[in-house]
Amino acid sequence: MRSVCVLFFCVCVSVFLRRAISQPPTESDTYTECTDGYHWDPQTQHCKDINECETIPEACKGEMKCFNHYGGYLCLPRSASVIPAPDPPRQISPGLDNPPSEPYNPCPAGYEPQGDSCVDVDECERDEHDCQPSQECFNTEGSFTCQCPGGYRKVGTECIDIDECRYRYCQHRCVNVPGSFSCQCEPGFQLAGNNRSCIDVDECDMGAPCSQRCYNTYGTFLCRCEQGYELGPDGFACKDIDECSYSSYLCQYQCVNEPGKFSCICPDGYQLLGTRLCQDINECETGTHQCAEGQTCVNIHGGHQCVDGNRCEEPYVKVSENRCVCPATKPGCRDLPFSIVHRYMSITSERSVPSDIFQIQATSVYPGAYNTFRIRSGDETGDFYIRQINNISAMLVLARAVNGPKEYVLDLEMVSVNPLMSYQTSSALRLSVYVGPYAF
């Protein structure tokens, strides 16, 4: 009997509620007031968001940009990007219940019945959440949360890009992109494994355009050249240095430029001494002369001379090698030196003057005799003179600079006078002086 009364009461309440809901609303039941940030739209009979960015003059000051959102607005930097949210769901007029088509759910909000128990509803999977398109939905027990993806931060209901470059994550250069950032390095560097630090690039191992030597440095490289080369204007190519053009004293005779170096050469009759000097070749010692039998080889600067073994001329007769005597029994010998000795010497061109070149020495001295020395013949141009040293010796002096090739044949005479015995005699030294073609 008690259960019947309860059932009758529930049926009565149900009938009463249905009649109350089915009654049309009167004019006094209409609500036209909205919360802040919304205004009543008579056409749609709903509260509509106010776009403050259009209705408020200069809503944001300075370099800030105005972004409208539901129920208000945001002032953000002009570089910020905002993903707009969809229009809010249609508001249900106050005082009206949900349509009666929804089934009765005895479980708490966020759960649904399953058998005799209540299980969680995955609003994210069923798309029954109100997360913005820029947000990600994460299901929780009995509810869900809306979170911004990596690289964004939540401002109100919007997800705003985070400018990671403001936090100096990169060693060199930072480039901000929506939701992320990238690091870049200066020329000469490359990104390390952490994609933030920059490490030096060894351009020399990567084919730097140096033509000869490459030296890696921090952030760049240097090109260097081998000895004998210099770096070109482009800083990469090496060009040969013409050492011969820098100085005329590199070689004693002639400088020859070669790639990366130079060499010295000598004229015919000379050989290289070391790397720069020239030395006369003694053809008489090396056996490279072409003197005939009966001739004597005389070495001179840059060559040699072949002289006859017997150079005695009438009225002289040969008494020994290189010595001729004019016998007193011959009438033609009266005014001639008693003896002539043949000698040979060679000097270089451009020799400094005055210069002692040959010493004359008496081989026999008579007691009480006075000896004088003179150039008897061969010095018509006055290039030489005699300086007497003492009674038995004198020096032949070169008075003027001479250039070869040239040959002088000088008769140097020693006159001996004995006043006590009224005796006078003379002897001559016939000196052949060869002047070489060079100053060495």
Kindly indicate the confidence band of residue 30, based on its pLDDT and cuts at 50, 70 and 90: low
pLDDT digits (tens, 9 = 90+) for 205-236: 999 999 999 999 999 999 999 999 999 999 99
pLDDT score of 68: 83
Asked if the model's pLDDT at residue 26 lies above 70, the reply is no
What is residue 86's DSSP assignment? Answer: P
pLDDT score of 319: 94
Contacts 24+ apart (CB under 8 A), 420-429: 420/368, 421/368, 423/366, 423/369, 425/338, 426/337, 426/338, 427/337, 427/338, 427/339, 427/340, 427/341, 428/337, 428/339, 428/340, 428/341, 428/376, 429/340, 429/341, 429/343, 429/360
More confident residue, 95 or 247: 247
220 and 233 Cβ atoms separated by less than 8 Å: no
pLDDT score of 416: 94
CA distance 377 to 250: 42
Q: Do domains 120-159 and 311-435 have the same CATH topology?
A: no
pLDDT score of 31: 56
pLDDT digits (tens, 9 = 90+) for 138-197: 999 989 999 999 889 888 888 999 998 998 889 999 999 998 999 999 999 999 999 999
The predicted model scores a pTM of 0.56
| Topology adopted by domain 203-240 | Laminin (2.10.25)
CA distance 199 to 206: 15
CATH of the structural domain 311-435, one choice from 2.60.40.60, 2.60.120.380, 3.40.50.720, 2.40.30.170? 2.60.40.60
pLDDT digits (tens, 9 = 90+) for 379-435: 999 999 999 999 999 999 999 999 999 999 999 999 999 888 888 899 999 999 999
| Topology adopted by domain 164-200 | Laminin (2.10.25)
Kindly indicate the confidence band of residue 366, based on its pLDDT and cuts at 50, 70 and 90: confident
More confident residue, 372 or 30: 372
Distances (CA, A) of 4 to 8, 9, 15, 380: 6, 9, 17, 173
Which stretches within 121-254 are classed as H helix?
Answer: 123-126
| Topology adopted by domain 120-159 | Laminin (2.10.25)
pLDDT more than 90, % of the chain: 60
Mean pLDDT of the chain: 86
CA distance 303 to 435: 11
Asked if the model's pLDDT at residue 287 lies above 80, the reply is yes
Instruction: Provide the residue ranges of all domains of the chain, joining segments of one domain with +.
Output: 38-74, 120-159, 164-200, 203-240, 245-280, 311-435
First and final C-alpha spacing in the chain: 154
245-280 maps to CATH 3.30.750: no
pLDDT digits (tens, 9 = 90+) for 121-139: 999 999 988 888 888 999 9
5 phi and psi, to 5 degrees? Answer: -65, -40
Asked if the model's pLDDT at residue 324 lies above 90, the reply is yes
